[in-house]
Structure 1
Amino acid sequence: MPILALIATGGTIAGAAASATDTTGYTAGALGAGALLAAVPQLAGVAEMRAEQLFNLDSKDMVPAHWLALGRRARALLDDPAIDGIVVTHGTDTLEETAAFLDLTLASAKPVVLTAAMRPATALSADGPMNLYSAACVAAHPDSAGRGVLVSFGDAIFPALGVRKCHTHRLDAFAGGCAGAIGRSDPLRYFAPPPLRKRGPVPLPPDLDELPRVDVLHVGAGTPPGLIDLMIADGARGLVLALPGNGSLPAAWDTAVAGAVARGIPVVRASRVGMGPVARKALDERLGTRPAGELPASQARVALMLALAAGDPALLDRLLTDDYIP
């Protein structure tokens, strides 16, 4: 029987409320890893679960230091020959960022699967127990090897890069990128073989305890370009612009963006639209910007932070495409 490590980090899946009908006024991260396992005794038929509580918080309060700690712990577990895979329980709010960080920094054929829940553990028809069971099934399955970090949620399996939370309340709250789900968990089946190419891992200094600051600016009609200078003055070392449409930069922003790039501040054009890639345009050559490709702004930010941390600005171009082979 496979041996899986369960790393619990909190979130709604470990949430508790005073009433079983309360699905919004709960406390995230109220239950520990042991309680999560106890709620799903059927896991005993899937794998031997070795649980640990790395931290227990609402994922809205997750910061890059938590990513680094999680990455170090996941790496140690993956290096353990006794461990066949990892399941990470997480909050939904920032799961896509943690998933991207892990996918871009871990190097192992062993499955790493993130899961979460939209309803707290105390709710009627809580979705967490089934999501945890499905994630364990995905992590224990031999066909999950070599696919990078995965997200198992609501019977769908998504690759980490491109996944995003697309609904504030629905139980099927996640969507993939342009390719959508790559498999399903009930019954477990993948729609295609493992990819031949994969981004990462980014070579980070082993003693790294902080990632460079990168800010995301949401650009709407009439948003002042002076915000760029304010963010840089406040300490941002890179910027991701969540722009209308296909990463469409307003003409009024050209000077500010070109000035930021000239000062050594990388600027990534992402989209505020929920789906679809951002393609390279002539303005990227003219202004020095980079398109986010199929990554949402949240994950393009993670890629930029990692490129800056690695001290290799050219790495960003490779991380924003799907052909980066280390």
Structure 2
Amino acid sequence: MQQLLRATTVALVAFSLAQAQAQTATNKPNIVIVATGGTIAGAGATTANSATYQAAKVPVDKLIAGIPELNNVANVRGEQAFQIASESFTNEKLLQLGKRISALAKDPAVDGVVITHGTDTLEETSFFLNLVVHTDKPIVVVGSMRPGTAMSADGMLNLYNAVVLAGTPSARGKGVLVAMNDDILTGRDAAKRTNIKTSAFSSGWGPLGMVVENQAYWFRAPVKRHTMNSEFDIDTLTSLPEVAIVYGSGNMTPELYDAAVKAGAKAIINAGTGNGSVPNYLVDTLKRIRASGVQIVRSSRIADGFVIRNSEQPDDKYDWVVAHDLNPQKAKILAALALTRSNSTSELQRVFWEY
């Protein structure tokens, strides 16, 4: 009889524990980590190799297993979308990733999505997703500047913070976010400013907030159109037009612009000096290219600030567009999307003002 009572007690305790664990799991957000490779999945030869390593070596299941603390903040599962260094991202991969993120965001069992990504083109992918995925659920893009094998590797905490952020109710409706070095950046503004420090990403307008010990702290909110309020929809996109960037410097040559047109560019981002300047000896070349139907967008190679319309060049007269505060690589993404809907200069300029 005592053995029966003891067995019954053990069974009840086990049942109660299982119920408590199930209740805890139910209360935690369901987060999907979509891995694409990059340094965060990289490995170096020794712990001293923080800048010399092979990217995209560690699969997503091992990334998750390496941070058991994730189980304390979310129910996490992983998917391996790609296993590449991010400089190898193409338009086709952007579209493929965007469609998968959109599908996950529509799943009622998913509360948020985290994308691990190489830092080289992280800013382009985060901006693209910010423009085309129609959801108010948190989508967080994260990377690292050091491989997980290095001393003081930053990937573990970055990924942990990204999962926390993706499961935070206050992150809903703020568009695609970037979690790097404790900062919360908007996918629109985030830019890689250095290639060697863990504080590589920042924004000219400052971070939205910070993640500190499982808590998101907010200081500002994005005001430009994004996600739910965007006119661009990944579910209707099948391809992106070619857009070229020509980097400004002293002693430019017209052949650079003509080569972009010959290669099939539907728009050219002029990454000009200063206020998106165009040298006087290139004005006629850009006017000729615009007359042929190719759009000219004046951006700047300067990290911060914005290009002022009809300053430096008479944009209205030449039928050119200005990129406002978007850097050349982000201007390329927005121009490509805008061209899927219209080739009107006034429409492109409206898009650059609103997004």
TM exceeding 0.5: yes
| 1:315 to partner: Cα distance | 4.2
Output one character per residue of 1:22-69: Cα deviation in whole Å (capped at 9) or x when no partner: 122211100010111111111111111121000110001111111001
Contact 2:208–2:221 under 8 Å retained in 1: no
TM-score by length of 2: 0.87
Give the aligned residue type for 1:192. R
1:183 to 209, 231, 242: 209
Distance 1:35-1:318 versus aligned 2 partners, 3 A rule: farther
> Mean Cα displacement is larger for which, 181-190 or 81-90?
181-190
Task: Compare the two structures and name the one with the higher helix fraction.
Answer: 2
Give the aligned residue type for 2:230. G
Give the aligned residue type for 1:280. R
| Identity between Structure 1 and Structure 2 (%) | 36
| 1:91 to partner: Cα distance | 0.2
* Structure 2 residue aligned with 1:62: 89
Distance 1:77-1:272 versus aligned 2 partners, 3 A rule: same
1:305 aligns with 2:331: no
How far apart in 2 are the matches of 1:207 and 1:273? Answer: 31
* Structure 2 residue aligned with 1:79: 106
2:236 to 206, 220, 244: 206
* Structure 2 residue aligned with 1:40: 67
Contact 1:205–1:310 under 8 Å retained in 2: no
* Larger RCO, structures 1/2 (Cα 8 Å, 6+ apart): 1
Contact 1:7–1:54 under 8 Å retained in 2: yes
* Structure 1 residue aligned with 2:298: 269
| 1:225 to partner: Cα distance | 2.4
Output one character per residue of 1:142-181: Cα deviation in whole Å (capped at 9) or x when no partner: 110000111110000111112110001011001113x211
1:1-326 alignment, distance < 5 Å = 1-177=28-204, 179-186=205-212, 187-193=215-221, 195=223, 197-198=225-226, 200-203=230-233, 206=236, 208=238, 210-281=239-310, 283-311=314-342, 313=344, 314-321=346-353, 323=354
> Unaligned regions of 5+ residues in structure 1, if any?
none
CA RMSD of aligned residues (A): 1.6
Distance 1:204-1:4 versus aligned 2 partners, 3 A rule: closer
How far apart in 2 are the matches of 1:207 and 1:156? Answer: 31
> Mean Cα displacement is larger for which, 47-56 or 188-197?
188-197
Contact 2:133–2:233 under 8 Å retained in 1: no
Count of residues in correspondence between the two structures: 321
Larger radius of gyration: 2
How far apart in 1 are the matches of 2:163 and 2:336? Answer: 30
Secondary structure of the equivalent of 1:274?
coil
Contact 1:175–1:181 under 8 Å retained in 2: yes
| 1:309 to partner: Cα distance | 2.4
Secondary structure of the equivalent of 1:31?
coil
TM-score by length of 1: 0.94
Contact 1:107–1:201 under 8 Å retained in 2: no
